[in-house]
Amino acid sequence: MSTFYIVRHGHSQAQENDLMPDKYSPLSTRGIRQAKERGKTLQDIPFAVVFSSHCLRAYQTALYILLYQKKSVPLFIVDTLGEKSWARFEGKKHEEINREIHEKRQLFLTLSDKKKLLFKYIKEMESDEEAGNRFIKSLKLIHEKYPNSTMLVSTHGTIMKTFLIKTTDATYMELPSGSNIDNTGYLIIDFDGNNFTHTRHIGVHRSRL
């Protein structure tokens, strides 16, 4: 049995400036503080190994959390743990993006959860299904290499939202965006090689509508 602590990165400079983040967006001052606080709350969890998305904000979050571990822990960057790709929208203001996708957003809201997983606003971006599947595949490969280990995974809000929708009874109505998961919020997940068991969620807000 492997145990994953799947942590969303701290507050980023892109969030501070209302931008769709790209992979180079670092933590804000607030995000650094959040990551250090999360490191303190997890300091008694003896992680065998730590994995991070290739995105700078996630990597920095992992580094700050590791500061509080009681022994040296290896850290690996894994591209497939990265955030869902928004292609040419990355680095743009959310206001600008929302103007461009407004009509498609209205269509998206009418779809079933199954169709929402497959939906793309532009063909170059990833669907939630594509992003979620590569993330799940990555966790399974990590489990194969480090069975019976407790591991930290530093990643992103939309990926975590999609993972919850694909592995629990959570819906898009309850988790409309990655912002339903707090910066440095986390999931504790057990994996036996076949099934993901959700043990605990910290900082996850499911809207009961």
Helix (H, G, I), strand (E, B) or coil at 129: helix
The single residue listed with the structure tokens 């461009």 is: 100
pLDDT at 209: 44
Report if pTM > 0.85: yes
pLDDT in tens, 47-82: 999 999 999 999 999 999 999 999 999 999 999 999
pLDDT at 208: 59
pLDDT in tens, 102-161: 999 999 999 999 999 999 999 999 999 999 999 999 999 999 999 999 999 999 999 999
- Classify domain 2-204 at the CATH superfamily level: Phosphoglycerate mutase-like (3.40.50.1240)
Q: Count H helices, E strands: the chain?
A: 7, 6
Each domain of the chain, given as residue ranges in start order, spans: 2-204
The answer on pLDDT for 207 being more than 90 is: no
Alpha-carbon gap, residue 147 to 150, rounded angstroms:
9
Name the β-bridge partners of 121. none
Supply 68's token pair: 């509080």
